[in-house]
Every structure is written in C-alpha cells, then in structure tokens.
Amino acid sequence: MSLNRKEFDILILLEKEKGAIFTQRELAKRCNISLGTVNTTLGGLTEKGYIDGKNQITVKGCEALEPYKVKRAIFIAAGFGSRLVPLTINTPKPLVRVNGVRMIDTSLDAVIAAGIEEIIIVRGYLKEQFDQLLYKYPQIKFIDNLFYNETNNISSAMCVRDLLQNSYILDGDLVLSNPNLISKYQYTSNYLGVKTEVTDDWCLQTKNNIITKMVIGGRNVYQMFGVSYWTEEDGKKLADDIKYIYELPGGKERYWDQVPLEYCKDHYKIEVRECSFDDIIEIDSYTDLKKIDSHYQ
C-alpha cells in the first residue's frame, strides 16, 4: 500500500526522531501542513497500524517507508575542473580543499550520516588520486569513465545508467553546508534549487513546484544545484533516455541533466526541492574559492 505525501512526511519525521513526542501542532509546523490535515492523517496512519497510540512509528510503519528508501549515492566526479586552474592541474576538483576540507567530503559525510550504504564515484581525470578517499570512506566503489576527456559529463552518466533507480546523483564539486539536504527517504524525483529573483547561472523554471524548463539565466526562478534524486520508475526511464541521447549525433557533447530536463522532459514529472544559498555552494571559479577561503587570497 503506497503512502500519500502527507503520510510520508509525517512518517519520515517520526522515523528520524524515534522516541520524540510531538503534539499535532508541532507536527503541523515541522511538516508544513495544516493542523486539521495532521489530525486526519494521524488517524489514517493509526488505522493502518503505521503509528501507535502515542504517535510513535511502528515496525509496520517502517516497512511502509521501504519503497521510498534511497539505495545509493552516485557522484559525478570525472571532469578536469578547468575553471579552477591552477589548483586542478595536479588535483581533481572534488579533492580541492575548502577551509581545510575536501569538497567531496562535505557530501560524502552527509550521505553516510543519512545511512546510505552504497556509494559510487565516477572518476576520470587523475583518477588514482581518488584512492585517498578510501582511508576515510572504505565503502566507496569507483567506476572509471575512460571517455571523460572526449565527451561532456553525459559519458559519466552512461557509466552508471543501470544504477540510477532509487539513487541520488551528486556533482562531486559541491560544498554542502547543510547535511540534512541528504535524507534516508525520498518521495519523488527532484532537483535541489534555490529560489532567486535573478541569476545568470543554470536555473529551473517551475509550475506548481514541477520543473518545466532548464535555462541559463532568468528571473523568479530556482538556481539549480547538482543534487538530484531518481525514483525506481524514473531511474529506469533515465537509463534508456541517457543511452538514446548519448548515441545521437552530438549527443556526447551534452550535459546529462539535459536529458530529463530538456530533451526527454515529457517523460518525467520532476519536483524542485527548495534549499537556500546557506545550505550549499557551487564553486565555479578560482575567484569564487577566494571569497569563501582566505587561504587562497
């Protein structure tokens, strides 16, 4: 039996904070739903045996969340990082340190804190340097992209296209300040985005919280960040669509995100998952890096 969105939101909160006692008013605030809806939803969850009389999640409730559990996190980390030269001449961009911490560690720590056990890194440029991560994260599995220097990042997605179901896909060069952006369960396919009045960066246009278009620059849009999640159903479709676009003339020059957000967008109904600029940083250039880490001044 599938969960509706409000049942899901309440159950994941109760699962994450097992033992905590919430009033209905607190649940309404934490889950951003009305008090009346909380009352109705709790009644339904109790009737199904997903929570007990004290509003604690039951074993049956945990089982109901299983279809929404994240299976793995896949990091796209094969590129050269040309805009961060000279640092990337000898170091892959995800391994560059920001305030003493490797960029990719900020996301890896969040993934592990969420209880996601399967971690895959698609590597290419200076690939052997990624082995240093194994001292801290021995569970990592590497997949080598042998074509990273001849193609855009769609070739990295090709390397893992059969692993996209119930999976996060993360850019390896993000600096994650809020680890709660990575959670153990996800309800639907989504991209992270920050609501902004104006941006000249990659951004997402939306309608009723569903992404309608990906463009460069815009007003009253969501600035796009490279953390997405794919359900089992959408992961299967994405595997086929990536292969289709990759094999078209010029397909190897595309970004993988263009597949679901541009070329095959009618195949998906992808939500934007809102965050803030305080939660995540994308370092595009050496100038950006100097702004947040004085060691590079």
Q: What is the pLDDT of residues 173-227, one digit of tens each?
A: 999 999 999 999 999 999 999 999 999 999 999 999 999 999 999 999 999 999 9
Residue type, 74: I
Determine contact, residues 55/14, Cβ cutoff 8 Å: yes
Residue 1 has pLDDT above 70, yes or no: no
Q: Report how far apart, in Å, the C-alpha atoms of 118 and of each of 63, 111, 112, 213, 242 are.
A: 20, 9, 9, 31, 22
- CA torsion sign for 286, 150, 230, 105 is negative
Alpha-carbon distances of 251 from 146, 150, 159, 254, 275, rounded to whole Å: 17, 12, 15, 6, 31
The number of CA neighbours under 13 Å toward the Cβ of 74 is 24
The predicted pLDDT at position 200 comes to 92
pTM: 0.95
